Structure 1
Amino acid sequence: MVSTSKIKSVDFYRKIPRDLTETSLSGAGLSIIAAFSMVFLFGMELNNYLRVSTSTSVVIDKSSDGDFLRIDFNISFPALSCEFAFVDVSDVLGTNRLNITKTVRKYSIDSKLNPTGSEFRSGPIANAIKHDDEADEEYGEGSVTLDARNFDRISHQHAILVVNFYAPWCYWSNRLKPSWEKAAKVIRERYDPEIDGRIILGKVDCTEEVDLCRRYFLVQICRNHIQGYPSIRIFRKGSDVRDDHGHHDHESYYGDRDTNSLVKTMEDLVAPISLQSRSASNSPPTKMKDDAKRPAPLAGGCRIEGFVRVKKVPGNLMISARSASHSFDASQMNMSHVISHFSFGKMITPRVMSDIKRLLPHLGGSHDRLNGLSYISNPSDSNANVTIEHYLQVIKTEVMTRSYKLVEEYEYTAHSSLVHSLDIPAAKFHFELSPMQVLITENSKSFSHFITNVCAIIGGVFTVAGILDSVLHHTIRLMKKVELGKNF
C-alpha cells in the first residue's frame, strides 16, 4: 500500500505553520478589497452569462414558407354595401383573382360599425344576366310609379310588392325597362290588383326620390351613399315589417332580366299565397332557380375579414363596389374605412410574441401598424371619385431562438393618400416585398466558458492582491530600516 507520506509529497498546496506567519493591517485591508472585487466581478460575469445576446445580419430572402405570402385583414366600410363589395388581388406577373369568396367573409354593419346580423352570403355570381334581345318601344307602362307619398300605402295593400329602383342615366336600367314593363303588364293581367291583389310591380326613380331610395334601398352615411342601379327588391306584407324603424325587410333579386324570367319569378312568389289570405307572413319560403333571390343587406355598411394568399412579388389587394349588371354613381360613392387588422405572414400567438419581445423589445412594432386607423372620405361636388390608396413596403425578419427554433415575422411601412380618379372609387393596398430579409440569431453561451472566467476572476484578483501586499510589505520594511539607520 502507498504510504501517507508519499501521498502528501504530491501536495501542490503545502501549508506554512501559523507560527511562521504574521498578519498585518495592510494585508487585511487588501484582503477586504480583494474579496469585494471578487464578488463584484463575479456578479458582472454572471449577469453577462444570463443576458441574452443576439447577432443581426441581412441576407437574401430564403423563406421557408414558399413562394406565397398570406395577408390577413379585417376592414370595416360604413358606406359600402356587402351586396356589391368585392375583394380582388393582382400582381406584376399578370395574376388577377377577382371576387375572392372562399377565404373572405362579409358582415353587414351600421354606421357605427356594429354588426346587424349574421354573415352576409352573396351567393354565386352569374357570368351574364339575360335580357330581352330586342327592345320593344310599344311595351307601354305596366308598373306603378312609386314615391314617398304612396309607397307605404301600396306596400300594405298587396301581399308582395316588387320594386325596380332605377336611374334614367343607367345603361342597365334602360336595358331592364322594356322587360320590366312588359312583365308588369302580364302580372297585372293575371293578378288584377283590384280583384286579386296578391302582387304588384312598381318602380322608383332614385334621381327623383332620393330619400325613398336611401330609406329602403341604398347605403346612407353622412348624406353620402353608394348607388347600384337597377336593383330589384321584393317586399312582403306582414311580419316582415321591422319594429325598430317601421321599415320593411326585403329581398334582392339577382336573376335574369328578360320578360319570361321575370314573369316566372313573380308567379313563383305568388304561388304559396292563397287568394283569400293575401298575406305572405305565414307562407313557406320560395326557392328560385340559381339562387336568384337572397335577403338584402340589413344595413348600409360592410365588414370584410379573412385572408388571401399572394405571390411574393409587387401586387395589389383591392376592395371596391363592382357588378356585372349594375351601374354606380361614382361621384356619390364613399370608400371610407376603418382598419381593425392588417398583417402579413402567419399569425404569431400572443405567448410566443411576448417571449420574443423579451429578446427583442422592438420586434412586432410594425407588424400591424395600420391597426385601428381610420381613413375617411366625404364625397361632395369638390371632392368626388376618391380612391384611398395604401402603399406598403414589407420586409421579413427571421428570429432563431433556443426555445422556438424559428419565428418568422413580417413588418411593413405604410404610406396612405386620397387620390382622385376617373374610375369607380376603391380601397387599394399596394404591397412590395423586399428581396432581403433580416436574420436575428440568439447567441448561446458556454457554461464551461463561464466557469473558466469565474476561476480567472478569483485567481487573478487573489494573485494581484498578493503582489500588491508583497510590494507594500517590503516597502514598509525598507522604510523602517532606513529610519533605524538614521537614528543610529
Structure 2
Amino acid sequence: MVSSTKIKSVDFYRKIPRDLTEASLSGAGLSIVAALIMVFLFGMELSSYLEVSTTTAVIVDKSADGDFLRIDFNISFPALSCEFASVDVSDVLGTNRLNITKTVHKFPIDPHLMATGTEFHSGLALHNINHGEETKEELPDGAIPLTSGSFESYTHHFPILVVNFYAPWCYWSNRLKPNWEKAANIIKQRYDPESDGRVLLGSVDCTQEAALCRKNHVQGYPSIRIFRKGSDLREDHGHHEHESYYGDRDTDSIVKMVDGLVAPIHPETHAVALDGISNDTVKHLKKAPVTGGCRVEGFVRVKKVPGNLVISAHSGAHSFDSSQMNMSHVVSHLSFGRMISPRLLTDMKRLLPYLGQSHDRLDGKAFINQHEFGANVTIEHYLQIVKAEVITRRSSEEHSLIEEYEYTAHSSVAHTYYLPVAKFHFELSPMQILITENPKSFSHFITNLCAIIGGVFTVAGILDSIFHNTVRLIKKVELGKNI
C-alpha cells in the first residue's frame, strides 16, 4: 500500500503553521477590498453570461413553395350591414375566393361600434335562389305602394305586413316584380284585406322613399321584410324589429311563405295559435338587422404572393347603390403569421428590442369617409410585409423560436365608378431578416469565474507583499540612522 507520507508529497497547497504567520491591519483591509472586487466582478460576469447577444442578417426568404400566410383581422364597419358583408381573397396566381365564411364571423354593431346582437349567419341564403321564369307580361298591381306617411299605419293595422323594398333600376328588383305582383293578387283574393285583414303585401320604392329604406337598414335591392303587429315595435324612434326573407322568389314560393305566416293567426280575433309558424317558412326567415353596421373578424390563409383582402357588399341576388355605400371602418386588429403561444410570447418580450415592433401598425386606427352616404369612395391599404425569423441556440439542437411578420402600411381614399370596397393589398418581400441568438457557454462562464477569483487573489497578494516589504524597508532605514 502507498503510505500517507508519499500521498502528502504531491500536495500543491502545503500549509504553514499558524504560529509562523502574522496577521496585519493592512492585510485585513486589502483582503476586504479584494473580496468586494471579487463580488463585483462576479456580478458583472453573471450578467454578461445571462445576456443574449444576437447577430442580424438579411437573406433570401427561405419559405418553401406551397407555404401559406395567415392573416388575422378584426375590423368594424359602422355603415355596412352584416346581411351583405363579404370577405374575399385574390392573388396574382389567379386565386379568387368569394364570401369566405368558414373562418370569418360577423356581428351586427351600432354606429358606436357596440355589438347589438349575436353572430349573423347568412349561410346559403343569398345564393341559388329560384327567381321563376323571366316574363315581360304586364300584370295589375297587387301590392300596395307604401310611403313614409302610410307605412306606420299599415304596420299597426295588419298582423302581417310583407314589404318588398326595391329600386326601379335594379335588375333583380325588375326580375322579382311580376312574381311579386302576381303573388300579391293571389294573397289579396285568398285573404281579403277588408274581410280577413290578416296580411297585406306592399312595396317601397327606395329611390323615392330613401329615408324609409335607411330607417330599416335596407342596403341591397330587393329586400323582402316581414313586419308583425304589436310586440315587434321598439321604443327606438318607432323602429320595428322584423325579419328578412331569403327564400326563392318565384310566385309559388312567395305565396307558400305568406300562407305559412298567416296560418297561425285566427281570422277573426287575429290571435296567434300555439303551434306557431311552420318549419318550412322559418328556415327562410332571419331576423333583419336592427342596425346598419357590422364587425368582421376571423382569419384567412393566403399564398405568399402579392394579393388582396377585400371586404365589401356582395350578393348573388341583390343589387347595390354604390353612391349609398359607405366603407368607413376601424381596424381593431390586423396581423400576419401564426398566432403566438403564451410560451413564445415570453421569449418575444425579450427579443422585441431586436424586432421592428411594427406587426400591429394599423391596430386602433380609423378610416372614415367624410362624404355623405358614401359617394363612391373606396378605401385602400397598401401593405409591404417582411418576415423576421429568430433562431435560438439555448438548447443542444438549433431550432426556430418564432416567425414574426412586420409590415408598413400606406392608406388612400379614392373615388370609383364601381362598388366601393375596403381593400388591403399585401405584398411580401423576397428577403427576410434572420436574427440569431448567441448565448455564452457555461464552461466559458466557469473559466472566467476562476480567472476572476485567482486573479484578484494573486494581485491582492502581490500588493500586500509590496506594501509589507516597503514598510519593513522604511523601518530598517530609520533604525540605521538612529544607530
1:306 paired to 2:298 = yes
Write out per-residue CA displacement over residues 266-302 of structure 1, whole angstroms, 9 at most, x where no aligned residue.
Answer: 3333333332233558661234479543221222111
Q: What CA distance in whole angstroms lies between the structure 2 residues aligned with 1:427 and 1:259?
A: 37
Matched residue pairs, number? 478
Q: Which residue of 2 aligns with 1:103?
A: 103
Task: Please say if residues 206 and 213 of structure 1, whose CA atoms lie closer than 8 Å, have aligned partners that are also in contact.
Answer: yes
Secondary structure at the aligned position of 2:428 is classed as: strand
Q: What CA distance in whole angstroms lies between the structure 1 residues aligned with 2:316 and 2:400?
A: 50
Secondary structure at the aligned position of 1:114 is classed as: coil
**1:417-456 equivalent positions in 2, closer than 5 A:** 417-456=412-451
Q: Which runs of 5+ in 1 are unaligned?
A: 219-226
**Which amino acid counterpart does residue 102 of structure 1 have in structure 2?**
K
Which of the residues 447, 452, 463 maps onto 2:458?
Answer: 463
Task: Please say if residues 238 and 280 of structure 1, whose CA atoms lie closer than 8 Å, have aligned partners that are also in contact.
Answer: no
Secondary structure at the aligned position of 1:149 is classed as: helix
Secondary structure at the aligned position of 2:11 is classed as: coil
1:240 paired to 2:232 = yes
**Which amino acid counterpart does residue 156 of structure 2 have in structure 1?**
H
Task: Please say if residues 49 and 439 of structure 2, whose CA atoms lie closer than 8 Å, have aligned partners that are also in contact.
Answer: no
**Which amino acid counterpart does residue 41 of structure 2 have in structure 1?**
L
**Residue range with higher mean Cα deviation, 410-419 or 255-264:** 255-264
1:343 paired to 2:338 = no
1:130 paired to 2:138 = no
Q: Which residue of 2 aligns with 1:53?
A: 53
Q: What CA distance in whole angstroms lies between the structure 2 residues aligned with 1:327 and 1:448?
A: 73
With over 3 angstroms needed to count, the CA separation of the structure-2 counterparts of 1:13 and 1:237, relative to structure 1, is: same
Q: Which residue of 2 aligns with 1:165?
A: 165
Q: What CA distance in whole angstroms lies between the structure 2 residues aligned with 1:283 and 1:147?
A: 34
How far off its partner does 1:197 sit?
1.6
**Residue range with higher mean Cα deviation, 200-209 or 19-28:** 19-28
How far off its partner does 1:55 sit?
3.5
Q: Which residue of 1 aligns with 2:220?
A: 228
With over 3 angstroms needed to count, the CA separation of the structure-2 counterparts of 1:35 and 1:264, relative to structure 1, is: closer
Q: Which residue of 2 aligns with 1:266?
A: 258
Task: Please say if residues 237 and 281 of structure 1, whose CA atoms lie closer than 8 Å, have aligned partners that are also in contact.
Answer: no
Which of the residues 387, 390, 393 maps onto 2:378?
Answer: 387
Q: What CA distance in whole angstroms lies between the structure 2 residues aligned with 1:35 and 1:231?
A: 86
**Residue range with higher mean Cα deviation, 75-84 or 141-150:** 141-150
Write out per-residue CA displacement over residues 349-399 of structure 1, whole angstroms, 9 at most, x where no aligned residue.
Answer: 445413431344465832323222211112239x72111112222223333
**Which amino acid counterpart does residue 461 of structure 1 have in structure 2?**
V
Q: Which residue of 2 aligns with 1:221?
A: none
Secondary structure at the aligned position of 1:435 is classed as: strand
Q: Which runs of 5+ in 2 are unaligned?
A: none
Write out per-residue CA displacement over residues 159-186 of structure 1, whole angstroms, 9 at most, x where no aligned residue.
Answer: 2111111222323323332332232222
TM-score for both structures, normalised by structure 1: 0.86
Q: What CA distance in whole angstroms lies between the structure 2 residues aligned with 1:355 and 1:251?
A: 51
**Which amino acid counterpart does residue 40 of structure 1 have in structure 2?**
F
Q: What CA distance in whole angstroms lies between the structure 1 residues aligned with 2:134 and 2:17?
A: 123
TM-score for both structures, normalised by structure 2: 0.87
With over 3 angstroms needed to count, the CA separation of the structure-2 counterparts of 1:302 and 1:364, relative to structure 1, is: farther
Task: Please say if residues 73 and 299 of structure 2, whose CA atoms lie closer than 8 Å, have aligned partners that are also in contact.
Answer: yes
Q: Which residue of 2 aligns with 1:325?
A: 317
Secondary structure at the aligned position of 1:272 is classed as: coil
**1:104-123 equivalent positions in 2, closer than 5 A:** 104-123=104-123
**Which amino acid counterpart does residue 379 of structure 2 have in structure 1?**
I
Identity, in percent, stands at 68
Q: What CA distance in whole angstroms lies between the structure 2 residues aligned with 1:360 and 1:156?
A: 62
With over 3 angstroms needed to count, the CA separation of the structure-2 counterparts of 1:258 and 1:343, relative to structure 1, is: same
Q: What CA distance in whole angstroms lies between the structure 2 residues aligned with 1:435 and 1:386?
A: 32
Q: Which residue of 2 aligns with 1:222?
A: none
Q: What CA distance in whole angstroms lies between the structure 2 residues aligned with 1:410 and 1:478?
A: 73
How far off its partner does 1:81 sit?
0.5
Task: Please say if residues 76 and 331 of structure 2, whose CA atoms lie closer than 8 Å, have aligned partners that are also in contact.
Answer: yes
